[in-house]
Structure 1
Amino acid sequence: MITPTETATSTAIPTRWVGPMRLSGAVTGEVEVPLATFESPLWPSVGRGASISREVWDGVIVTIVGERMTRSTLFVASSATVADAAAREIVARLPELQDLTAASSRHARLLEAHTEIVGNLLFVRFAFETGDAAGHNMVTKAADTIMRRILAWGLRLDYGSISGNFCSDKKVSAVNGILGRGRSAVAEMLIPNEIVVRRLRTTAHAIAELAVRKNLVGSTIAGSLRSANAHYANMLLAIYLATGQDAANIVEGSQGITYAEARDEGLYFSCTIPNLIVGTVGSGKHHPDIERALERMGCREEREPGGNARRLAALAAATVLCGELSLLAAQTNPGELMATHLRLERSAPRRA
């Protein structure tokens, strides 16, 4: 066991910069990203997707469709009738709670509240804007303040928990996929047929067909929850570790849907990621390597509140698309994936 005065010795995670990727939409221009991973084939795989983006006029187009961090409070009533009346009152008095949140926090802004009743238990899922922070602690503090106000209203509620798992934090859930948690992003690219054949050694039809057979059907029979993708978690963990994020949030981040179409002009390829939980300020961001990485990515600029975190989320989404595209293309060709892994991993230098 490590005491508070001891320092643990750890192995540094190999990190490489990949790209640049060409982007448009939420981010415009060409940007490199750092990936921290022990899975060395991930770098050239994402790099292939990034190089393809530079051959496409618009590159990877990223749209941020939602921004919110959530915390769900749990209240205990004597009956479902009491819980229901309290839920209606909480929703009706939301403007009061929004004013309370704004007065007690510089950055947190209460957006909405969703209620759920189970027996005599009342769950309230509050969603907040959190500026450039991922916002875990910020929303917990705001929810604590809100909870004390609600308990003072005389609604015949008792305290249950500051977090009732309806959030849902660092767990795979349907609610996060439906309502979003963190930044919700869609990354898409239209790749001309000539580039698909030349660079990916496959066809638009083959990739679109595999996206259905593998990602949709395969994930369905596996019982995946609001997920139909090949390996979002690989790219997200690598970029999370390299930029000082809470790595446990890849649990939510791994949820998402890869969608592809074979069009006359080429391959339409997209990755929809509803739970990108990233921040450019807060815990983990003070380390020199993290600071330098965020600066190099352009995520330390003077922007409106939330602008730097929005940029980081867009870069993460584009990175996911580059890695997902490359892997699916490889899997359309028998033997290519394993041969590539063996070549890259066996040629990597090893320590005695």
Structure 2
Amino acid sequence: MSKHDQFVTGIPSSWVGPLRISGNAINEEIKVPLATYETPLWPSVGRGARISRLVEGGIRTTVIDERMTRSTLFVARDAGHAYEAMASIRAREAELQEAVSAQSRFAKLIEMHEEIVGNLLFIRFAFTTGDASGHNMVTQAADTLMNLILSWDLGLDYGSVSGNFCSDKKATAVNGVLGRGKRVVAEILIPHEIVETKLRSTAQQITDMVVRKNLVGSTIAGALRSANAHFANMLLAFYLATGQDAANIVEGSQGIVYAENRAEGLYFSCSLPHLIVGTVGNGKHLDHVNDTLEQLGCREEREPGANARRLAAMIAATVLCGELSLLAAQTNPGELMRSHVALERGERK
């Protein structure tokens, strides 16, 4: 592709908030960047952000796990030989870990999962990748591991460096079960008075909406490990603003909203089991992305991975703000459409 074929697309962008966030990756009030053509998203997330500032501790975010995966595919003569080969590979796992560490400062092999289908052997390698989302890093590591395993003469042939058991940019169950990217839970406990005055709803109405729409509605639609109203909206807007690989919203939007009507108020949570983000790597070198990451405090000197965890926590909190606002609006007949019409007409004037 020549330079003449390249062009820059301008996307409407805005800083929203600040959000009050606490947890094991960030504890502060901070504005977040959202790049989207669906600009009513800004005030919607902004409403959730205002709620967060009225609650002690705001939105609590917990980064539970982090990893990036690549599944290699080997071809054996039959299932028996594939099984024997995998036993040998498991016995030499320490050699595999050493090979990965030798070719990367940040990639570390932490886990293997295998599946044998006929004479095909799939090995799903999981790595930590520091502050990078890690797509290229784990592919390079997988290449290294494949070459090493093939050199052991276990009766295996090369199939593919990526066998779709990873699973990359596809809606699958395995990422939710075994993890891929950052696993983050964002939660908030909102006093009843704030729910009623600021969201024009009640804890029971919102809890019922979560059950009836997100859980039951998603189930009859055949959703795959997913029960939410619009995680993808906030994810895409945040991804575009911070130089992420936007295609990762496919698996990133597979998350679950859970709520309870408690004596103290509305408990509301968003669980994102595979949030794939990074603060270094492709796209992060662009001036406007670098400036944004600096403003988010994700260019500080921290231990490897800490900046990416900070970013993941902010994204999860932003998802909660947008999800809470939309679900509250839908408890009131007509409110959602009235808001969209008013906001969009206002922009066109």
Report if TM-score (shorter chain) is over 0.5. Answer: yes
Q: CA RMSD in A?
A: 0.8
Deviations 1:280-323 (A, max 9, x none): 00100011110110000010000000010010000000000000
Measured after TM superposition, the shift of residue 8 of structure 1 is: 3.2
Question: What percent identity do the matched residue pairs reach?
Answer: 68
Aligned to 2:188: 189
Does residue 200 of structure 1 match 2:202?
A: no
1:53 counterpart letter in structure 2: S
Q: Secondary structure at the match of 2:69?
A: strand
- Residue 20 (structure 2) aligned to one of 11, 19, 22: 22
Does residue 212 of structure 1 match 2:199?
A: no
Deviations 1:15-49 (A, max 9, x none): 00001000110210101110000001100000000
Aligned to 1:227: 226
Aligned to 1:6: 4
1:216 counterpart letter in structure 2: L
Deviations 1:49-76 (A, max 9, x none): 0010000001000000110000000000
User: Matches of 2:7 and 2:154 in 1, distance apart?
Assistant: 52
Aligned to 1:158: 157
Q: Secondary structure at the match of 1:281?
A: coil
User: Matches of 1:5 and 1:206 in 2, distance apart?
Assistant: 54
User: Matches of 2:229 and 2:92 in 1, distance apart?
Assistant: 43
Q: Secondary structure at the match of 1:71?
A: strand
Measured after TM superposition, the shift of residue 89 of structure 1 is: 1.9
Does residue 173 of structure 1 match 2:176?
A: no
Does residue 88 of structure 1 match 2:103?
A: no
Deviations 1:114-160 (A, max 9, x none): 00010000000000000000000000000100111111111100000
2:214 counterpart letter in structure 1: N
1:136-151 matches, within 5 Å, as 136-151=135-150
1:75-114 matches, within 5 Å, as 75-114=74-113
User: Matches of 1:141 and 1:158 in 2, distance apart?
Assistant: 19
1:133 counterpart letter in structure 2: A
Q: Secondary structure at the match of 1:258?
A: strand
User: Matches of 1:9 and 1:29 in 2, distance apart?
Assistant: 37
Aligned to 2:288: 289
User: Matches of 1:201 and 1:92 in 2, distance apart?
Assistant: 60
Q: TM-score scaled to structure 2, two decimals? A: 0.98
User: Matches of 1:182 and 1:64 in 2, distance apart?
Assistant: 11
User: Matches of 1:8 and 1:288 in 2, distance apart?
Assistant: 17
Measured after TM superposition, the shift of residue 104 of structure 1 is: 1.1
1:252-291 matches, within 5 Å, as 252-291=251-290
1:281 counterpart letter in structure 2: V
1:23 counterpart letter in structure 2: I
1:296 counterpart letter in structure 2: Q
Question: What number of residue pairs does the alignment pair up?
Answer: 348
Q: TM-score scaled to structure 1, two decimals? A: 0.98
Contact 1:94–1:112 at 8 Å: present in 2 too? no
User: Matches of 1:337 and 1:325 in 2, distance apart?
Assistant: 13
Measured after TM superposition, the shift of residue 10 of structure 1 is: 4.4
User: Matches of 2:261 and 2:88 in 1, distance apart?
Assistant: 50
User: Matches of 1:90 and 1:265 in 2, distance apart?
Assistant: 53
Deviations 1:250-270 (A, max 9, x none): 001010100000000100000
Q: Structure 1, unaligned stretches of length 5 or more?
A: none
Measured after TM superposition, the shift of residue 92 of structure 1 is: 2.4
